Amino acid sequence: MSLSLTFHGAAGTVTGSCFRLSTPEGDVLIDCGMFQGTKTIKELNYRPFPFDPAAIKAVLLTHAHIDHSGLLPKLTRLGFRGRVYATGGTVDLLEYMLPDSGYIQETEVERLNRRNRQRGRAAVQAIYGQDDAIRCLRRLRRVEYDRWIEILPGLRARFWQAGHILGSASVEVEAMDGRGEPTRILFSGDLGPGGKSFHADANAPERPDWMVLETTYGDRDRTDLDEAGRQAVLRAEVMAALAAGGALIIPVFAVERTQELLYDLDRLFDTGQVPTVDVFLDSPLADAVTGVFRRHLDDLETDGDPFVRANLHHVRSVAESQRLNSLTGGAIIMAASGMCDAGRIRHHLKNRLWRAQDTVLLVGYQAPGTLGRLLQQGTPRVRIHGEEIEVKARIRSLDVYSGHADRSALLAWVAARKGVNHGLFLVHGEEEARASIRQALLADGWPADRIALPALDDRVDLAASRPLAPAERHARLAPAALAGSDWHNRYAQALLTLRRTLDTAPDDPARERVLAGVMAALANTASAVGAPADTASADTAPGGDASNDKR
């Protein structure tokens, strides 16, 4: 059997990172992540794996973000009995993140099933629960950076600093093909932008045979700011929010983004650049992860402990979180999740989006179809927990806290590898981002036949000298279904538009005419597709908000 690589996630989309390397000694996964974004994409988390979990010999994990690690408990529950290799920082984070993810699956599915029972629909089973996540932790094995470890006979791996989050790594794999010849494959993982507060810059070996490169921000460049410049940008946003008279709500990613914001706020408070207002960290996971960062202070590139202050309040209970609803202004509330698709942030947004004096500050990537992306796009009305909310709050975005390399940094990282012997696969990006990186590489002199943009579930033969043609293509979702919003988003928007139309109609007869037209259109459409016209709902697909934090 020769070497092959199958792209079971992060191919044509940003999330669900999962690459299966098939070798003469068995199959190994690089990452086993959860899909995030639209309900159509998240539904993939509920489907069977497109491989036998019991046949997987090991998992090499690039980092702890849920879109790279979040399906490990499901993998274990369905028969995986191998080891999961990860750096010490990643292992420490997963001890909190995976059980938290299991809790989210249980609670969000419980909420969905209450609605399903009311509507006479079948119950949905959680992807996995807390107990599954805790059992999965027994599979974890710590590895050190820059040291080869044997994974299987004829297959070894080495982890390199990726500069993305605590413990993040690029993974170099050396495997023997069917002819006994060594082949080196470099998986970039998620690459940091350089100049981060807590980590060294990304590094990796030169000239692998094959490279798998993330392209999350492959279509954009950011302004390069040093620490002082980044803090100045944050100061301007905080001061503007306080001047508006309301609270500042920051949807945060529990890992890295929360800690960077706390670090910068600590500096701004201590230097008097921002008034010492109360900061409420309303995320048990972010609170626990901050504790992990404190344990790794000796490994982080920072002075002192920025995570302990008299005006920093750790909100742990639901009751404490609910009491924040009474705050009228002069405070900062940080709550997960960063894309506003789960957790306590949705309750805060439900309570505050309609208040013109409040500010919502988005500080990271917002996947298509998420509530965060809708707010970022200026959607005037949104639905949260089935209720319509008018967006009057100030919606602001910052990209200076991104944990990802931008277009120029990605290209510089590739250039530092001094090429590849066989080919490069572009993954972990929307189509525009992948196409932009490909075009830039072509302009730099890369041959077109050395660059591939794999689709979901494509399998390529690494014994081939070029990666253009997949050996197999059995996608679980068509590429179009991975891009942009889906019918669930359009259904929610249609409800909001109908409500707005009825509210602004001049009189009841006009409203009756609108409804009659809608019902006639539904009847005609239902007849054409052979379905009743009264069964459409955004809650028929599982997936809901059962997602965890990302970049």
pLDDT recorded at residue 530: 66
Phi and psi based region of residue 528 (left: phi greater than 0; alpha: psi -120 to 50; beta: remaining)? alpha
Token reading at 327: 């705050």
Taking the CA atoms of residue 30, residue 33, residue 37 and residue 40 in that order, the dihedral angle to the nearest 10 degrees is 100
Tell me: the pLDDT tens digits for 528-542? 666 654 533 334 334
Peptide bond into 337 cis (omega under 30): yes
pLDDT recorded at residue 540: 38
pLDDT recorded at residue 550: 44
State percent of the chain over pLDDT 70. Answer: 91
pLDDT recorded at residue 494: 81
pLDDT recorded at residue 551: 43
pLDDT recorded at residue 497: 81
Residues 62, 162 contacting (CB under 8 angstroms): yes
Tell me: the pLDDT tens digits for 141-188? 999 999 999 999 999 999 999 999 999 999 999 998 767 789 999 999
Q: Inter-axis angle of helices 431-443 and 407-416, to 10 degrees?
A: 50
DSSP 43: G
Residues 210, 423 contacting (CB under 8 angstroms): yes
pLDDT recorded at residue 542: 41
Domain ranges of the chain: 4-221+403-482, 227-397, 487-529
CB-based burial, 141-162: b 16+ in 10 Å, e otherwise: eebebeeeeebbebbbbbbbbb
Could you tell me the pLDDT band of residue 365, with boundaries at 50, 70 and 90?
A: confident
Least confident of 206-215, 343-352, 360-369, 528-537: 528-537
Q: Is the dihedral of CA 459, 461, 466, 471 positive or negative?
A: negative
CA distance 498 to 496: 5
Predicted confidence (pLDDT) at residue 304 exceeds the cutoff of 70: no
pLDDT recorded at residue 366: 86
List residues bridging with 406 in a β-sheet. 217
CA distance 464 to 2: 10
Residue with tokens 């690589």: 5
Residues 84, 58 contacting (CB under 8 angstroms): yes
Mean pLDDT of 348-374: 91
Q: Which helix (H) or strand (E) is 489 found in, with range?
A: helix 487-504
pLDDT recorded at residue 544: 37
CA distance 434 to 539: 32
CATH architecture of residue range(s) 227-397: 3-Layer(aba) Sandwich (3.40)
CATH top class, domain 4-221+403-482:
alpha beta
CA distance 140 to 134: 11
- Nearest Cα to Cα of residue 457 among 6, 35, 28: 6
- Nearest Cα to Cα of residue 364 among 393, 334, 400: 400
Predicted confidence (pLDDT) at residue 215 exceeds the cutoff of 60: yes
Q: Which residues contact 11 (CB under 8 A, 6 or more apart)?
A: 427, 454, 455, 456, 457, 458
What 3-state class would DSSP assign to 514?
helix
Per 3-state DSSP, the chain is made up of helix, strand and coil in percentages (nearest 5) of 35, 20, 45
Mean pLDDT of 292-316: 81
- Per DSSP, helices labelled H in 246-380 are 257-270, 284-295, 318-323, 345-352, 371-376
Predicted confidence (pLDDT) at residue 1 exceeds the cutoff of 60: no
Residue 179: CB atoms within 10 Å = 8
pTM summary value: 0.81
Could you tell me the pLDDT band of residue 97, with boundaries at 50, 70 and 90?
A: very high
Could you tell me the pLDDT band of residue 294, with boundaries at 50, 70 and 90?
A: confident
Predicted confidence (pLDDT) at residue 24 exceeds the cutoff of 50: yes
Residues 285, 338 contacting (CB under 8 angstroms): no
Predicted confidence (pLDDT) at residue 393 exceeds the cutoff of 70: yes
The Cα-based distances of 233 to 154, 221, 399 in angstroms read 50, 17, 10
State percent of the chain over pLDDT 90. Answer: 61
CA distance 314 to 279: 9
- Per DSSP, helices labelled H in 283-356 are 284-295, 318-323, 345-352
Q: What is the mean pLDDT of the chain?
A: 88
CA distance 371 to 226: 30
Q: Which residue has the higher pLDDT, 191 or 541?
A: 191
What 3-state class would DSSP assign to 428?
coil
pLDDT recorded at residue 145: 96
